[in-house]
Amino acid sequence: MIAELIAVGTELLLGNIANTDAQMISEKLSALGITVHHHTVVGDNPQRLAQALETARTRADIIITTGGLGPTYDDLTKQTICKTFGRELELHEDILEEIRTWFQTKLGREMPENNVQQALLPVGCTVFDNPVGTAPGCAFEENGVHVLMLPGPPFECRYMFEHRASQYLERLTDGVIVSHEIKIFGMGESSVEEALREPMEHLTNPTLAPYAKLNECMVRATAKAETREAAEALLSPLVSQVCETLGDVVYGVDVESLEAVASDLLRKQNLTLSAAESCTGGLIAKRITDLPGASAIFRGGVVSYTNAVKAHVLGVPEELLEQYGAVSEPVARSMAECCRKLCGSDLAVSVTGVAGPDQDDRGNEVGTVYIALASEEGTICKKLSCGKGRGRDRVRTAAASHVFDLLRRHLSGLPL
């Protein structure tokens, strides 16, 4: 099955918002075994949308649109699709009542009359109700092409795809498709591909596909079978083979993130953590506190961006700062040790480096980063090169990820 995604919204073309819906849908279609060949973005213009639909129907089995299902004058996705595919719109009283109830219970006011437009849906369609918003979606088939309409707001789009559209699409696929994601940190996509090239070349079902992510990569193992149990039986030995081949750069299978793995290890070992950050500016604390239940394992941290804060808040000896500079192993070690004492945590991590755009006053190049981990057993420190010319955000993100990987390795007894 070939799918094409058409996002509707002038704000996407102007760059006011990112098209995150397309990324989410493409990932989930891949898991369903549906291939996406084209992404298209059009403004709130019925003529250009009609042209995009005419092109898509000639080359795709499934067309999924996002956006343009609201109550305003420029929300014309349904009308344009119905005109293109020769469908009439009809009023769904039950959907209209749901929208009225939404306004009364969620917003505490009466529904404006222009929202009636949202209850107009193509004749004979499968309705996707929307319990998290006011715009229902729908799907229909015309001359062998399935057309699905989803709302544009990311939260509503994700909910509707996961709870409504995916069930519709599953019926179009033959059998069951199951995927597992093998998460990797410390090995690039090309190296992963080289290590797995031989099995990848001979696989047809299941299959392996490497993907580059920000500062890490992933291998997706996918199998198709008549039942989930049969697909899992195909996948299990392959996933084990990949993990064995790649070794300890694999930080988990079907896990959320490096910080999630590190947090789970802290929780299982009943340990607490604190963080002293310089160049990352609080990114480590943010990533760990983004996780539910972080208060059980994270004591707090200090964003010691200047030497004065390193010395007078953390307690880093001024002579270390003067002799070695802020971006150095002795200072990184001291930051972690002082933070551990200050916060009363079992473990403490630190990071200090040059995010750019220029080298520091000691001649350290952009991307030079020191990270440290202090524990009751002592302190370990690593010097990193997070990439000259990669930009501040990339350096900071990479440095934070290395901290979480160092923590993971320490808690798992892996080589550091």
Residue 243 belongs to what domain range? 176-253
Alpha helices for 278-369 (secondary structure H): 283-289, 307-309, 318-324, 329-343
Say if residue 183 is in the same domain as residue 224: yes
Mean pLDDT of 142-157: 96
CA distance 8 to 51: 13
Q: Look up the CATH number of the domain holding residue 163.
A: 3.40.980.10
**329 and 264 in one domain?**
yes
Question: Distance between CA 377 and CA 379 in Å, rounded?
Answer: 7
Residue 95 corresponds to which tokens in the numbers above? 């959907």
* Cα 6 to Cα 48: distance, rounded to the nearest angstrom: 11
- Residues 184-195, mean pLDDT to the nearest whole number: 92
Under 8 Å between Cβ of 140 and 160: no
Burial class (CB in 10 A: 0-12, 13-18, 19+), 248: middle
Q: What is the CA angle 200-206-208, rounded to 5?
A: 40
Q: What is the pLDDT of residue 13?
A: 95
pLDDT at 276: 98
pLDDT category of residue 174 using cuts at 50, 70 and 90: confident
What local confidence, expressed as pLDDT, does residue 389 receive? 64
Same domain, 406 and 267: yes
Pair 276, 232 in one domain = no
Average pLDDT over residues 329-341: 98
If pLDDT is split at 50, 70 and 90, which confidence band does 228 have? confident
Residue listed under structure tokens 């080359």:
59
3-class state of residue 234 by DSSP: helix
- Count the Cβ atoms, other than its own, within 10 Å of residue 100: 16
Is the pLDDT at 53 greater than 90? The verdict is yes
Q: Cα dist. 225→233, 265, 405 in Å? A: 10, 34, 35
Whichever domain contains 210, its CATH number is 3.30.70.2860
143 shares a domain with 50: yes
- Domain end, chosen from 208, 227, 253, is at 253
Helix (H) or strand (E) holding 362: none
Q: What mean pLDDT comes out for the span 25-53?
A: 92
pTM of the full predicted structure? 0.79
Give 314's contacts (C-beta < 8 A, 6+ positions apart). 276, 302, 304, 334, 335, 338, 339, 342
Q: List, in order, residues 6 or more apart from 375 with CB less than 8 Å away.
A: 340, 346, 347, 410
Residue 349 sits in a domain of what CATH number?
3.90.950.20
Strand partners, 156: none
- Strand spans (E) along 157-285: 176-184, 207-213, 216-225, 250-253, 273-277
- Same domain, yes or no, for 73 and 138? yes
**Band of the pLDDT at 304, cuts 50, 70, 90?**
very high
CA 156 to chain CA centroid, nearest Å: 17
Question: 155, 170, 185 — which closes off a domain?
Answer: 170
345/358 same-domain check: yes
In terms of domains, do 124 and 36 share one?
Answer: yes
10 with 81, same domain: the answer is: yes
Given this model, what pLDDT does residue 357 score?
86
Least confident of 21-25, 55-59, 268-272, 353-357: 353-357
Q: How far is it, in rounded angstroms, from Cα 381 to Cα 386?
A: 15
Q: Report the mean per-residue pLDDT for the chain.
A: 94
Please check whether residues 234 and 247 belong to one and the same domain: yes
CB atoms within 10 A of CB 352: 29
Query: How many domains is the chain partitioned into structurally?
Result: 3
Average pLDDT of the segment spanning 141-168: 96
**Domain end: 253, 279, 295, which one?**
253
Residues 23 and 127 occupy one common structural domain: yes
- The answer to whether residues 27 and 89 belong to one domain is yes
Residue 269 has pLDDT above 80, yes or no: yes
pLDDT of 388 > 70? The answer is no
